[in-house]
Amino acid sequence: MNWLFLTSPLHQNHFEKSFSIPEDQLCNFLISFEGGIQAVNAASVAPYLADEEIKSIRMGYKKAPKHIFVSNMDVLLKTCAIMLALDQDEFDEFSPEDDEE
């Protein structure tokens, strides 16, 4: 599995009380003994890296949300995509290219 690490762990205290990662999705996250998400499977976040809002946040054109409050898997994966510790070469590798040829 190709792990992409976050810049800092995402702890479960940022999750709504009613939300937990579904068991069939747990294999896509590298979770520390204290419950913080350390890394995510590259295939899980690759589609989110193409999102214009996430690109703008990662490039510094927009501010990241001040308060992280994860309420579902979509929000969790978007948050992880924003928090990834990727350099530009790695980012380009996981961003789909426009094939207009």
Q: Over the stretch 11-20, which tens digit does the pLDDT of each residue have?
A: 989 999 999 9
The predicted structure's pLDDT at residue 89: 53
Could you tell me the pLDDT band of residue 90, with boundaries at 50, 70 and 90? low
Is pLDDT above 50 for 37?
yes
Strand ranges in the chain using DSSP code E only, listed in sequence order: 3-10, 29-31, 37-41
- Summarize the confidence of residues 45-73 as an average pLDDT: 90
What mean pLDDT is predicted for residues 62-79? 91
- How would residue 98 be classed by pLDDT, with cut points 50, 70 and 90? very low
Contact yes or no for 60/72 (Cβ under 8 A): no
